[in-house]
Structure 1
Amino acid sequence: MKLLLPILALLLAASNTTRASSFDELLQTVKQQTHNELTAENTRIKKFVAEKKQQQKLLTEAKKKLQDLKKQSSLLNDEIEQNEKKLTATEETLQIKLGDLGELFGAVRQVSGELKADFSRSIVSVQYPQRLPFLDQLAQSKTLPDVKTLEQLWFYMLQEMGETGKTREFNADVFDTDGTQQQQQVTRIGAYALLANGLYLQHDSETNALHQLQKQPPARYQQAAQDFSTGKTSLAAITIDPTHGQLFNLLTLKPTLMQRISQGGMVGYIILALGAIGLLIAVFRFFYLNLVSGKIKHQIKHLDKPVDSNPMGRIALVYREYQDKPLNEREIALQEAMIKEAPAVEHYNGLIKLLAAVTPLLGLLGTVIGMIITFQTITLFGTSDPKLMAGGISTALVTTVLGLSMAIPLLFAHTFIVAKSRRILDIIEHQSVGLISAEK
């Protein structure tokens, strides 16, 4: 216990010494930091004062430079105004010196555009396709053309005029009717017709391509084209299209006879069927009556040898049968025999007459049906597109034509057959009366 007390006293003394040392160090540190901050602040103040003097100098220099730039800007503005005045004067001088050249430039562009439109429709461009890009470029040019360009334009104008009166042969790609393309030798007749292998060609102005016509002209024109292509004759008649293909286009739209008939619809087919039946009956009756007339003439020459293969022979047999009877009975028997023969001679005459009367009435019926279809189309779609009304109008007109076309020959045939029948009956009656008169 006595030892512990001195030890504790030593420890307390050491602790106080350490604490005093730490406080001195802290105080020294605070002094040092305060000194450093004051030094830094003084440095900043000195730097600020120095920079302030420098900024003032820079400000003075900037103001001076601004004044110089303002003076320079004023000089440049004056120079710009002078240049604008010079430019205006130069442009006026240019316009004066251009004079007719400006009008020439406008005229060249206008003529080039018009020629391009004309040449694109001309079949001559198929042989000389390089003309179209040249004219297109010249029409859109914004600079004055040179002399060489003007000479080329003049050359193309003369070339077009000259080629319209010449016949040329050249190779070109041709599209067949099935769409296949192959190179063929093409004959160009002026600016009016194109031929290849004896067939007429059509020029597409949009693509400058050649196509075979979907429908060639009639055979007589096509034969002339073949003779012209093969060169069989030095001079040959040839069909041309001065409208640059419009007539040939209309030709392809022209319907054939069967297409015309089909436009009549069901009524048209009925009219044709009835007309055909009537004409066949008329032809049959014509040959039949000719045969009967020949037999009757032969029988008249041989009344002593009557046969039952003809009306006159059958009447002669009846007369021979009643030859021993009284006269009145013989007359009655002959009249009955003539009456029996009349239906066979006049058979189908009424039917032919009926068909001749019915066919135009059916044509009128088709006309009414066609007009009804037309009015229904107008009600649904209006009158903006005439093609929509074409079907009804075609039915109306075609059925009328078919009805009249069948009625007219049937009427002539009926008149002829009736006259021939009446002539045969008159011969029979005359010969029958002659038999009785011979006995009196």
Structure 2
Amino acid sequence: MKPLRTLALMALLGGWTGPAAAGELDDLVRQVQQSQAREAQADQDRKARFLADKNQQQKLLKDTQAALAQAEAEGKALREAFAANEARIKAMGLELKTKGGELNQLFGTVREFSGKFKSDLAESLISAQYPGRAAALEPLVLGKEIPGLTQLEGLWLGVLQEMNESGKVVAYTGLFTDAAGGERTGTIRRIGPFTAVAGGKYLRYVPDYGKLVEPQRQPERDSLALATNLEHADGGPVLAAVDPSRGVLLDLAAQVPQGLGWLPKSLRGLLNNEVDLVIFGVLLLASVWALAVAVERWLFFKRVDVAAYPKASVLQTELTRHMTVIGTVAANAPYVGLLGTVLGIMMTFHRMGTEKSSMDVHSIMLGLSTALKATAIGLLVAIPCVVLNNALRRRIRELMAAHEVRHG
């Protein structure tokens, strides 16, 4: 019964095919066996690879752990170096701030000195011979960067040159503007930063144009003779005029008219032109005339005898003789002074228009103040004349009252 059951089971599982299918079953069995063998071999291969990979992974893990430890050590060293560098940077920053403050202070001092020295060079008479020195200092004065060694050396050399040239009397060929406004080239003799002459005439340096200009009004003949002496000097000692004010005294000397050289110097400062001479002369004559009349009238009033004049009209005529002179001087002296002021102002503005850049503010103020002197002197003449006129006329009224009392 058992073989029959086995056969029945095989029939149920694979189907009964009969003897013809026996070869196929063998092939199937053989294929299954081969498949199992391959799978077993694959399992062996996978197991071998797994073991190999496991050993390799252990090595990789050890290498990775070693690299991690090395990286951590390097990181620690870098952090320590970073902290040290940060502390060093802070220390160097403080040092830089300290030294930078000193350097900035030094730069401020250099810039301040350069600005003052630039102004001195711009107004220096020496700049007419060496132009462009003030402009070369512009980077030091206006620059925001710390000056370099070349710029500082240039400033130092400029100061040395100015000091050296200030103590020299030199002659050089240069360009200047004559009194007519034309450009001329000639030999210019210079005494330091004080005086320059050419062609027997004094020259003035005009900073706005950077040129030497021959003023239309020159000092008197004695001063011009000194300029001629300087121009013809042959290297030995020579008497010459030096203007330490760098042009101011030259302007003052030029204000004295050539026609007033015979006057004392104390009067030349008062009489700056011929108009002043005429106005002040008229006021002086008028004041002397009025004073003489006042003295004569006062002496006459002291010795007059009202009893000798029976008629009041005759006495009044004698008492008021020449009194109109004092009244006229008192009334017109301020107008004469005012006329001198107006003419003086006109002449000052005329010089401003003709001399152009050679007339500075000082000369203008000097001309205007001199013009105002005429009005002041006119008032000084008029006020005493008014007082004398009032006093004398009061005395006349007293004498007329005495005559009226005596003669009824």
TM-score category (smaller protein): 0.3 to 0.5
User: TM-score, normalized by length of structure 1?
Assistant: 0.44
